[in-house]
């Protein structure tokens, strides 16, 4: 019997559901570009100074869902714990 994998038991189902409710799936390469990966360093370090999110999309959604957010000019701010 094959060993269950995280992709098969969790990720594939979440991705199928997200697509079914209208989300747009993006390729790994596109996601890395949107998050600001540094392609000039070894793969293990590419995400070192990148965002956890698609900042432009997150900012646009925050403004759409909260019209008063427009009063707070600039991008969404994040507080990062000192231990990181």
**How many whole angstroms separate alpha carbon 76 and alpha carbon 52?**
13
Q: Where are the alpha helices (DSSP H) in the chain?
A: 6, 12-20, 28-35, 55-65
Residue 8 maps to a domain: no
Residue 37 maps to a domain: yes
Q: Residue 84's pLDDT is what?
A: 46
User: How many domains in the chain?
Assistant: 1
The mean pLDDT value for 20-34 works out to: 91
The pTM (predicted TM-score) of the whole model is 0.59
Residue 4 maps to a domain: no
Computed over every residue of the chain, the mean pLDDT equals 81
The mean pLDDT value for 34-56 works out to: 87
**CB neighbours of residue 12 within 10 Å:** 12
Residue 52 maps to a domain: yes
* Structural domain of 26: 22-71
Residue-wise pLDDT for 53-76, tens only, equals 888 888 888 888 887 776 666 555
**How many whole angstroms separate alpha carbon 2 and alpha carbon 30?**
32
């Amino acid at each position: 019997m094959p060993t269950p994998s995280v992709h098969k038991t969790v990720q594939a189902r979440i991705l199928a559901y997200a697509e079914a409710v209208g989300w747009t799936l993006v390729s790994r390469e596109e996601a890395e570009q949107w998050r600001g990966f540094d392609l000039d360093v070894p793969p293990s370090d590419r995400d070192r100074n990148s965002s956890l999110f698609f900042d432009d999309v997150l900012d646009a959604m925050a403004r759409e869902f909260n019209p008063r957010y427009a009063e707070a000019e600039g991008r969404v701010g994040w507080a990062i714990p000192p231990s990181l």
